[in-house]
Every structure is written in C-alpha cells, then in structure tokens.
Amino acid sequence: MVSPPTPSPRPPRPLRAPERLPPPLSESCDAKMSEEGNPASRPTPVQDVQGDGRWMSLVSDPARDSRESWGHHRFVADSKDKEPEVVFIGDSLVQLMHQCEIWRELFSPLHALNFGIGGDSTQHVLWRLENGELEHIRPKIVVVWVGTNNHGHTAEQVTGGIKAIVHLVNQRQPQARVVVLGLLPRGQHPNPLREKNRQVNELVRAALAGHPRAHFLDADPGFVHSDGTISHHDMYDYLHLSRLGYTPVCRALHSLLLRLLAQDQGQGVPLPELTP
C-alpha cells in the first residue's frame, strides 16, 4: 500500500503592516446607527416642497413673512469671506436670534456667524455641515441649537443626531469647542413634545459629560411656571422666543462663551458648572 505523499510545509505568511485600530465602541455604534438605523443622524437635505429653492437660496427673500430667508448657499458664501470666532447653527431659534438687539449687543462683537434655518432638524444640520458650511472658517466655538423640530423621532434618536453633529464638528474643526444648547420646553401647557425635549436634554447632558471639547448648557431660565404653563411674553407662540425671552438665554450663553474663549487664550478664567 502506497502511503500518501507528505505535504510540503506551508510557507510562512508574509508580515503585514499593522492595521489601524477600530474606533471606540461608542463611536463605531454611533456611526453604524447614523448610516443604517437612525434617521435623525443621517445627513439629509430639506425637500423643496415649495419649489422655490428657499432652503438652498443664496439671496434673501423679503417677501417671505417680511423676514430674511437665509439658505445653505448663502452660508457657504459667508464662510468664504468671514473670520468668525463663533458660529451658531441650528433651526429658527438660532435664525431669529439674529433679529434681536441682544445679538448685536452680545454676539456681533465676537464676529459671530448665524447659520440658522427655520424648520431644520438634526439631519438637516448634519447635511449642511457636511456640504460646505464648515469648509472655509476656523471658529473657536460652534454653538448648536437644534432638535425641537424632530417630531417623528424618539428622544434617543434626537440625541443620536445631536451627538453626530458634535462628532462631525470635532472632525472638521478640531480646534473648536462645541456648545450644545438644551431644547426649550414648548406648548402653553404640559404636553408630550415638552416631555420629549426634557428627555433629550437629560440624554445629551449625560452623553457630553466629561467630553473635553463639548459642553451642554441648559437654555431654560425657568420658562415653565409653577402651574405648568408658559407665558406668551416669553414665547409668543409657545415655541419661539420673544425678545424678552431671548434676553436671559443669550446672556447665559454669552457668559459661557466669554469664559471658554478666555480659557483657550490662557487667561485662567474658571468655567461655570455645566452639568449639575
């Protein structure tokens, strides 16, 4: 009986260059959720249902409710010839802030840019940031205020969208700090959307705790009265802030911005307590 031939020894496997370590578990999970499962963290442009291109618009539209209608292309153009220290990005609460005197008093001296678009949700802000609004500037701070328009998303999904925005800013602008403003209560009386915003704030606060370049600031100075109602003097439609309502929000934010800017300039100004 003939014995089977002895197999020749397998040549040694050539050495390969070491592979890059995978991202931390939380980062990889966030990325997977962004790409596959969470619509709030999937970059998406606004559908042009009016057919007038207002979201992408380069010029103002004085015919629209007698207010300036800023769009994505306008913001990209502004970023090419401005040198802001602070950039605000978000929804109508950011956009309308620019029309108040307190903006000129507190934020214009910081050479701030306002990239707010009414109606935007987290996925829309992500799309704008991925498509040019951060390309030509090097701000020291990016202020993010968005999430209250994510009506069809859970609190966990909205939180994922906000975290994705923070992560994207950290990637594109590593020198910049990110300040996330908490979502405001909404509605004249207690309601599910108000409760969801409260849950989002708790989740975002916990997610950013200990983050070296991101900070959560509760934007609510106490708009909800003891009986659970909100005054139209603070929120004229129980969603958008009046000039009176903007005042305490902007002053608290301005104080934080000055402290962060001073700290980065090595002036040793202590930071406020951001998370109780």
User: Under 8 Å CB-to-CB from 39, ≥6 apart: which residues?
Assistant: 123, 152, 153, 157
Residue among 230, 138, 121 at smallest CA distance from 186 = 230
Catalytic sites, residue numbers: 92, 237, 240
First to last CA, the chain: 83
Helices 155-172, 192-208: axis angle to 10 degrees equals 40
Q: How far is CA 246 from the centre of its chain?
A: 19
DSSP for 59-71? S--TTTTTS----
Task: Please report where in the chains the tokens 């902007």 appear, as a residue.
Answer: 250
The tokens describing 12, both together, are 């040694």
Amino acid identity at 82: K
**DSSP bridge partners of 87:** 113, 142
Task: Please report where in the chains the tokens 């913001």 appear, as a residue.
Answer: 75
DSSP for 138-184? --SEEEEE--TT-TTS-HHHHHHHHHHHHHHHHHH-TT-EEEEEPPP
| Cα diameter, the chain | 101
Q: Are 127 and 165 in contact (CB under 8 A)?
A: no
